[in-house]
Each structure stands twice: as C-alpha cells, then as structure tokens.
Amino acid sequence: MKINTNLSSLIVQSSLKSSTNGLNTAIERMTTGFKINHAKDNAANYSINTKLSTKISGYEVAEDNASQALNMVNTALGALSVMSDYSSRLRSLSMQVQNGTYGNKSIDAINAEAVSIINELYRTKNNAEYNGISLFGGLEQPSDITFPDGTPEKKYEFMVEVVHRDTSQMTSVSSLDESIVTTGGSYSVSSVEEIEKAFSMINSGKLKSAELVLANDVDYSEFTGTHATAFGINFDGNGYIISNFSSTSSFLGQNSKVKNLGLENVNISSNNDGTCAFGGGAIKLSNCYATGFVKGRNNVGGLVGNVKGCVIKNSYADVEVRGECSIGGLIGAIDENDSFRIENCYTEGSVNSSIYTAGGLIGWARIRGDVKGVINNCVSTSSVTSRGNNDAVGGLIGDFSVSGTLNMTNCYAVGEVSSGTNSGGLIGQFTIDNPEKCSISNIYYNMESTGQNDTGKGVGLSSSELNKMVAKGHLPDYGLDLPLPDIYDTSSRPLYSPAFVTFQVGISGEDSAGIYQDLSFTIEGLKDLCYLGLDDEKSLEKIDEMIASISSKELELGALQNRLESVLEQVGVAYDNLVSTQSTIRDADIAEESSAYIRNQILQQAATTLMATANQTPAIALQLL
C-alpha cells in the first residue's frame, strides 16, 4: 500500500478523460449531423469531402447557368416566331399582288402594308434582348425603304390631322369668267391650270376676297409656264399636297392666309430677297409644311422669307436653304416693327449662309418698342453653316436683338452649328435691352451634336439629358430623329451585342464545359425586296430567302434548346450522385452516435463514482499506524 502514488486514481482519471472526450465527440456529431467536423476526425475523408463540396457548388451554378441559357434561347425563339409570322404575311401579300388583278392604287396600298411589315421585322429583330444582351447581333436598319411604285420610307404628314372638305358643291375656278370681277365665296382648284388661273385673276383684281380650296393633290412637274405668284390670298390646302413646284419665285406672295397645305419637293431658286416656299409679309400659316430646295439672296427661309407681323402655327420645313444674309430653316427674317407669333414648329434639312447670319429656325429677328414676339414649342434639327467672317449663327436663331416684349419657352436645337464667330448652340448673337419685359424658360441646345458650348444664350445639355426631357414630355416631341447619346454615357449605353454567346454549363475551365453559339443573323433578301416591290416577279424569291434565314436560325436555336435540356438532366444526375457520395462520407449515423453518447455517459458517471473511492485509498494507510 503506497501513500505517494495512487495508481487506482490515475487509472480512473484516464478512463474519465477518455469517456468525457467520447461524450463530447458524440454531442458534436449529433448537433452538427456530420461525423467529420475537423481534419483530425478523418484526414483522408475530410480532404475528399472538401473536393466534393467544391464540385457540388459548381454543379449548382452550372444548373442555374443552363436554366438561364434555356430562358435566353426561349426568348430568342419567341422573337423568331413573331418574325416568321410577319414573313408569312409578307409572302401572302406578294402572292396577292402578283395576281394581276390590281391597279396602281391597290398595289400602293399593299406595298404600304409591306413597308410597315418590313419595318416591324427590323424592329422586332433589333429589340430582341435578354438581360441587357442584344440577341441577334445589334442594330440592323433598312436602307431607304422605297418601292418603285412610289411608297416612300419617310412620309411627310400634317402636324394636325385634316378632314377633307367636300368641294363637289363648290364652284370650280375653271368655270369663272376672267373678264368680270368675282367677289367673295369659296372656289375649288384641282389642277395646275386652275391654280394659275386663280392666281392671275387675283393679281389682276378679277377675283377678290375669295377663298381657294384645293380639291386633290396637284403635281407641278409638267408645268412649263411662268408662275403667277398671288398676293394676299386665302388658300385652304384641305389636307392635300402640291408637289414638284419649280420656280424663281415663291408659290404664294406676301400677306397670304394659308392652312392645311403641303408643298413637297419644291425647287425655288432666284437672286431676289425674301425667297421662300410660301411667301412673307403679314402671312398667316397654320398646319403647313414644305420640303425640297430654296435658294435666294437675303432674308431667305425654308417656309417664309421676310415677314412682318406673321402668325405661324403647327408647321414645319425640311428644306435645304441657301443664301447670303439672314437665312433661316423656317423664316428668313422677322421685321422689328410688327408683333409675331410662332408656335409648335420645327425644321429639318440644312441652312447655309455665305455672308452673314443663319439660324436653324430663324435667320434674323428684331423686337422693338411695343412689339411683342412669341416663340413657343419650336425645335430645329437643321445643320447650320455660315462662311462669312463676321457671322451670327445659331442652332435655332442666328441674330436676335430684343428691346420689346418676348415670350420664349420650350425650344431646343440639336443640329450641327459651324461658324467663324458669334456662334451658339441655340442663338448665335443674342442681346436683350429690357430683361423685365421678357419671359424666357426651357430653352436648350445639344452640346454634343451642335458642337457648341456657350453661356447666356440657352442651356447646354448632353444628348442623354435632352432626350430624357423630350421623353418625359418636358420638351416638345415631333417624332424627329434626335442625336443618340454617346456610347460612354452609361445611363443610355446600347445593348451588349456579343458575336458569340458562351453558356458555361460545366464545372471545369475546359472548352468542353461550355456551349458556344452565334446568335446573330441578318434578314437576308429584305433590302433587295425594298427596291424590287412586291409586284416584281422576284419578290417571292427574296421573301423565301428571308424566310429561309429565319428558319435556319430557328433550327440552330432549336438544336441548342435540346442540348441545354440534356445538359440540365445530366447536371441534375451528377449533382444527385455527388450529394449521395458526400452524405456517405460526411453525414453522421444518429442512432450510432446516440448509442456512443449513452455508453460514454455511463462510463463517465461510473468513473466519477470510482474516482471518489480511489481517492480514499491512501487514507487507509493511517489505520496501520
């Protein structure tokens, strides 16, 4: 019997430590559900489990990738299905028009629908996108869609819809006697001869205080005489168009009152001042427009020339305007002694001055004394150029001096401005003598497209900022082609258009882990169709080429769809097998661990009891003393 060494206690301590460790291990495994919680539990299986976890995570991402890829392909196939329907309709129209039972007007109507379908095909293709990615290779635009029968891509329309007046009950100008004076009344004109006769009678005083009403479209291309420009005329275009007017003078004279008239493809060239399409003076224009070419000397305008007290509303000009001084896309010059009002107007085309002052809307304007000027809701996209040494060139107004009353709101310019001096994105040279008499608000210019950045003459905005204001209705929107924002403007960045799309559906970095697909394609044969017209015998062939192009892409994407569905199934099987393998290696058997827990708990309790007994053994030695 030994006092210094208690072997019984040491044996019990070892057993207690072992049972306690076993109890802790059982508790950890039952609470985590894993039998491998640390590398020390099983180093080999711990390493295997880590690799399995990495692969399982990779397969989860691969499954998501394959699902998103399948959604992307389904989106593309949906767009192609719509395009296929449009193509079928286009083919039906082509077969219909080639039947040989349709006249020119019917063919025009059918081709008009064809133009609409073609534009919609391009729109559908260009707008097909998934999560910010252009599906079919970016923008593709039809080039100058014009059928041989005369259906143009760009169709000019009146800003305000016109309901044609019935002219069948009106007296026609052809029935008037040129030898007697006719006063008052409304008279219909339906040909070049009637228009020229009416203008001659007005100029000679034989037709007074009368209204002329256009009964149909009139083509001046065959007119070879001298045009009789009429002054102070009251002319209702009645929503019809006068086309191909060519002369050395304006179609109408000064102080006329005109509404609902379109002048298309005019060619007016002279060395006179005030050259324009419609006239000047105290002219009143409402819902009119002009397109073509106008050239003169001074005070030259696309719509009106030198005006005094004009009122112009809901009108526009798409004209190439040239001259020496005071050249404007809409108005050449505004006299300083008469009030004027210009509202809801816009210009396209180009303005060129060889000596001094040019503006996209107005070349030169003055407001003096009690004169009041109003310029509201006006826009210019015209490019403006002056080659003079002392010029005043602006995107909207060239030279603008105000000492009277001015009300100017909701105007902007986006056309390129080129000049030596005194140039501005909105106004070239701008002076205001009495600011308290002026109300000016919401006047802007596009700094990027005009190439200007000046202060005090309008607010400069980026393309993105200006387009947003138009889109939100803060500025007038006349359906014009406004400059697009710079590609580096992230707020309006174009859709990403990759040449190839990579679908990462595997878990490795090898090529076999990805599926590569070219989604881009062009609408074959469509541009040729635009030039041929549906009534051409080759139109069916071109439409079939387009249908074949769409069908080929549908075939490609259909095969890709099958591959992705197969990938999803394969990834799912691999994932399930790996999870099962990991479960075998990592997951704890709760029944087994609970038995171990109970066993170690009993051993711990027994060891604790025996420890007390073992600790009493040295004390027995005292009984021997």
- Is 471 contained in some domain? yes
378 with 413, same domain: the answer is: yes
Name the residue with tokens 């495994």. Answer: 29
pLDDT for position 527: 58
- 3-state SS of 255-266 is CCEEEEEEEEEE
230 with 105, same domain: the answer is: no
pLDDT for position 150: 43
222 with 258, same domain: the answer is: no
Give tens-digit pLDDT for 439-474: 999 999 999 999 988 877 889 998 878 887 887 788
- Estimate to the nearest angstrom the gap between the alpha carbon of 512 and the chain centroid: 39
297 with 384, same domain: the answer is: yes
pLDDT for position 533: 66
517 with 408, same domain: the answer is: no
C-alpha to C-alpha distance for 605 and 545, rounded to whole angstroms: 89
Determine contact, residues 613/7, Cβ cutoff 8 Å: no
310 with 444, same domain: the answer is: yes
389 with 453, same domain: the answer is: yes
489 with 540, same domain: the answer is: no
**Partners of 319 in beta bridges:** 292, 349
- Is 603 contained in some domain? no
Name the residue with tokens 């002076």. Answer: 431
- Is 29 contained in some domain? no
- Estimate to the nearest angstrom the gap between the alpha carbon of 215 and the chain centroid: 38
Query: Computed from CA positions of residues 190, 193, 198, 199, in that sequence, does the dihedral angle turn out positive or negative?
Result: positive
C-alpha to C-alpha distance for 539 and 508, rounded to whole angstroms: 50
- 3-state SS of 103-136 is CHHHHHHHHHHHHHHHHHHHHHHHHCEECCEECC
pLDDT for position 149: 47
pLDDT for position 98: 80
pLDDT for position 293: 95
- Is 175 contained in some domain? yes
Residue (of 307, 421, 452) closest to 366 by Cα position: 307
292 with 416, same domain: the answer is: yes
Average pLDDT per block of 10 residues along the chain, 625 residues long: 73 84 84 81 83 86 88 90 90 84 80 81 83 71 48 71 94 93 94 94 92 96 85 92 93 90 94 82 93 94 91 95 94 90 95 93 93 95 85 92 94 89 89 91 92 84 85 84 52 50 75 75 65 70 84 89 89 88 82 84 84 76 69
DSSP class of residue 569 equals H
Residue (of 333, 326, 375) closest to 351 by Cα position: 326
pLDDT for position 143: 46
pLDDT for position 497: 55
Phi, psi (degrees; rounded to nearest 5) at 70:
-65, -40
Determine contact, residues 293/315, Cβ cutoff 8 Å: no
Instruction: Tell me whether residue 169 is exposed, middle or buried, using C-beta atoms within 10 angstroms of its C-beta: 0 to 12, 13 to 18, 19 or more.
Output: exposed
Give tens-digit pLDDT for 93-112: 888 888 878 877 787 788 77
Range of the domain at 346: 254-493
pLDDT for position 489: 38
Phi-psi region of 416 (alpha: psi -120 to 50; beta: other; left: phi over 0): beta
CATH number at residue 318: 2.160.20.110
180 with 242, same domain: the answer is: yes
- Is 263 contained in some domain? yes
Outline where DSSP puts E strands in 155-198.
171-172, 182-183, 186-189
302 with 334, same domain: the answer is: yes
Give tens-digit pLDDT for 8-20: 788 888 888 888 8
303 with 322, same domain: the answer is: yes
- Is 566 contained in some domain? yes
Phi-psi region of 451 (alpha: psi -120 to 50; beta: other; left: phi over 0): left
Instruction: Tell me whether residue 172 is exposed, middle or buried, using C-beta atoms within 10 angstroms of its C-beta: 0 to 12, 13 to 18, 19 or more.
Output: middle
Please state, in angstroms and as integers, the Cα–Cα distance from residue 326 to each residue in 241, 355, 391, following that order: 28, 9, 10
Instruction: Tell me whether residue 272 is exposed, middle or buried, using C-beta atoms within 10 angstroms of its C-beta: 0 to 12, 13 to 18, 19 or more.
Output: middle
Last residue of a domain, one of 197, 231, 247: 247
CATH number at residue 544: 1.20.1330.10
- Is 5 contained in some domain? no
Last residue of a domain, one of 224, 247, 270: 247
In this structure, the strands spanning 393-394 and 372-380 are unpaired
pLDDT for position 255: 87
pLDDT for position 1: 59
Last residue of a domain, one of 215, 230, 247: 247
Please state, in angstroms and as integers, the Cα–Cα distance from residue 123 to each residue in 114, 117, 136, 539, following that order: 14, 10, 12, 21
Name the residue with tokens 């339906």. Answer: 190
Provide the domain count of the chain.
3
- Is 215 contained in some domain? yes
pTM of the model: 0.58
Phi, psi (degrees; rounded to nearest 5) at 536:
-75, 145
Give tens-digit pLDDT for 528-574: 565 556 777 777 888 888 888 889 889 988 998 898 888 888 888 98
Within a 13 Å sphere around the CA of 525, how many CA atoms are in the beta-carbon half?
Answer: 18
Name the residue with tokens 């001084």. Answer: 325
pLDDT for position 484: 55
